[in-house]
Amino acid sequence: MDGNGRWAKKRHLPRAMGHQRGVEAVRNLVRNIEPLGIECLTLYAFSSENWKRPEDEVSDLMNMLRKFIKSDLPEFIANDVQLKIIGDYRTLAPDIVEQLEDALAQTAGGSRVLAVALNYGAQQEITRAASLAAQTGEVTVESIAANLFTADLPPLDLLIRTSGEVRLSNFLLWQSAYAEMNFTETLWPDFTPEHLQAALNEFSGRERRFGGR
């Protein structure tokens, strides 16, 4: 979900306002995702590298996370959305961890999954998974996959990056091995369910061979 800062800069607004509009884009997408038939939507909310940002920006992001969980949890429950967290979220502030674990428990029965990547980095995830696999036996493709944060999620079919950047930035590197990629110039605060539908339409026309002919 890239482009919040640039969205704000183009409008001569503080970066915090861009992040706030980014949260609104998330909310709009989640509210309108059921008709699209998506089993699982994963959002890259805060990377392990984002700690390098200015302290006040990180603080703003964490405060928005607190508000988002509190305000939107009832809506998740009402709309049968199951929240999943991927990443080392337990190293966040204790009150955020408590909020997240309460939300995970309250939404556990949901039939549609919203996975949020928090304090997540794919290289770190793969390293962790390989280490866990080594502790229990042979390190194989299967044993690494079984120890990823996403082990209980469906395979990744389509990865979308907004804002015109054409790189993965340490997001779902293992899972992206045969995923289709979609890079759009749209800044995240402007990304709508219609943009997602357009990406799905393009995806449906691609031929996926998974290394075959």
Catalytic residue among 2, 4, 60, 72: 2
Catalytic residue among 4, 28, 50, 152: 50
- HEC secondary structure over the chain: CCCHHHHHHHCCCCHHHHHHHHHHHHHHHHHCCHHHCCCEEEEEEEECCHHHCCHHHHHHHHHHHHHHHHHHHHHHHHCCEEEEEECCHHHCCHHHHHHHHHHHHHCCCCCEEEEEEEEECHHHHHHHHHHHHHHHCCCCHHHHHHCCCCCCCCCCCEEEECCCCCCCCCCCCCHHHHCEEEECCCCHHHCCHHHHHHHHHHHHCCCCCCCCC
Is 2 among the catalytic positions?
yes
Is 190 among the catalytic positions?
no
Active site residues: 2, 50
